[in-house]
Amino acid sequence: MVVKEELRKMGLHFVLIDLGEVEIMEELSAEKLIELNKALLVYGLELMDDKKAVLIERIKNVIIEMVHYTDEVPKVNYSDYIGEKLHHDYTYLSNIFSEVKGITIQQFIINHKIERAKELILYDELNLTEISYILNYSSVAHLSNQFKKVTGLSPSHFKLLKDKRRCPIEEI
């Protein structure tokens, strides 16, 4: 919304505004770019013109969308999915990501899958079997092992801690 409004104020027309990405119809002068960047900085947003940084953000956005906002399990493995979505060879994407972020794409995916698992455990609407399926784990044991490796806790222990932190209204 902020980006749309700032573009409108500057009289710029856009073809696409997506998470972390904008396609503008006009060619921007250096002055217009500076003006747009200043306007966006007020809202904590900034323009990225470094091709690597833009690609990293696109990789992160694809992973975040895949893990947090899609309930469909990808029909292909993650490397194929990311490569197809971004129209690049996965090895190329993986090398750039590791170089810039200091972790692998796979570790980034695991970290997000575990955060999503925590969220689903806290919602307490699904059992671990359902959570492992939604997050595309081969088994509950695989999810549990990764969960423990990342958090230091088993999913069931994590759930117990959540339950202990809550105090029923009657006991307050």
| Average pLDDT of span 93-100 | 92
* Rounded Cα gap, residues 106 and 108, in angstroms: 5
Question: Can you list the domains of the chain with their CATH numbers?
Answer: 2-47 (no CATH), 52-165 (1.10.10.60)
User: pLDDT band at 15, cuts 50/70/90?
Assistant: confident
Q: Does residue 20 register a pLDDT over 70?
A: no
**Does an H or E element contain 115, and which?**
helix 105-123
pLDDT value for 51: 76
Higher pLDDT, 165 or 84: 84
Query: Tokens for 83?
Result: 């490569």
Q: What angle do CA 2, 51, 29 make, to 5 degrees?
A: 60
Largest CA-CA distance found in the chain, in angstroms, rounded: 64
Whole-structure pTM value: 0.69
Given a cut of 60, whether residue 170 has pLDDT beyond it is no
Beta strand pairing call for 21-24 and 14-18: antiparallel
